[in-house]
Structure 1
């Protein structure tokens, strides 16, 4: 049975649900409250996806309405958000770098995660805020020192859409340029709308697209990844413990503002991101006021 997992409700009060196609192009929503309090690492590690399918088949889940309800990130606050840099050759080139010979790995704080349709803040002093559509890999089983990439997919619960928003002035130029500074800003990692189970997706051949104010900026395929999902999960497991509920962002294709071909984000801009089979995000940007 094909399903999609989501979390609905106000920020910090999201309720877990499962979506099932209704046969007319839409979805029916069912509460997961009978199985779990949230879509988190504990749920995923305890065969939550399969238990959800079994409960649906048995008619044990109550149907709920999602009309007008906010959609949150489909995974409760991850323990870690692990990011891969320059994982598409064309993006490495537009960034002024040679394609990496081994994966470039960095971290984002878990508190940067936000909903896929939440209004998105541009930092008060930001001048070069940039978009990055990315395939997100959600870990469902602990992974440490995997011996071979063939073991990696056994540790993947599913996939989602992510936007790795980046402030390039903070990230790159000068002695103070640091990836952590440019990648850690509040609400800079919209996730979702859904977590789609791994057995429903061929992650190696998915179309990705970003539109800014209706104009296409990024248009590529995960077939162009330098390092595919099994390689990345295996590689990262050699350097850190991957836990259920962690999210790996696999890198962005060419077409970002850093290329010099497009302006950086401004208040009022609308960014839409889409990955085949995983849904669509939409963020409208505003300038966040400086703290008093």
Structure 2
């Protein structure tokens, strides 16, 4: 997209560079991101600008808006995450793998560290186009989630009809997981908004609905905070793994099948959650400088 201004052919390249910002559209299992690179120069991106770009009707459209910023003190890159409503998020597992793949390919490396506001996430390249991210410690205390009051995070007093009794944890962002007998019968779009904004979650929450298929396999649909239903959610899959094992429903390793595909999860004995999955670039393009303000 370019502004309707006449320029001479000799100045055309300079003009395009001066008024456009390159972007990349990426996804992990259909969980999609608009990625901007602010490592070379700062980009004055406002919450409203991020929300406008994330709009699927009037912008590019994405589940999360990602800005790459310079890494410092052992981190290869800083990843800033915004939800489609412009609010800032602390974690995004699928985006972590996407950003790690870009930085690793640039450096010719097989391991990089992605920093977020929630902490540092080491990511390594595996055979077959897969990337494994150490998503850090699962935090299980009620203040860690956070919850509005002291409650057992393994059994929250929360229900919508027959959907009840979730477990909660934090993966750098708040999650609650409901375990249901038949995922296809859960009206996720109807009950998701109210659960996300329930008063028990002072910062709102990502809401997962999981059906256990075996001790090594579950189905999962996520209502993401600020985004709604997404095809996949990396941090939500991490939370589902942790909460399922805490409930005695799975072992410490499981395949989690979401509408966009499978993630392979492990909750290690040291408390760290490992997430393995693919990344993809859908397309690249440019934005006018005015689009981010």
Larger RCO (alpha carbons 8 Å, 6+ apart): 1
Q: Which protein is richer in strand relative to its size?
A: 2
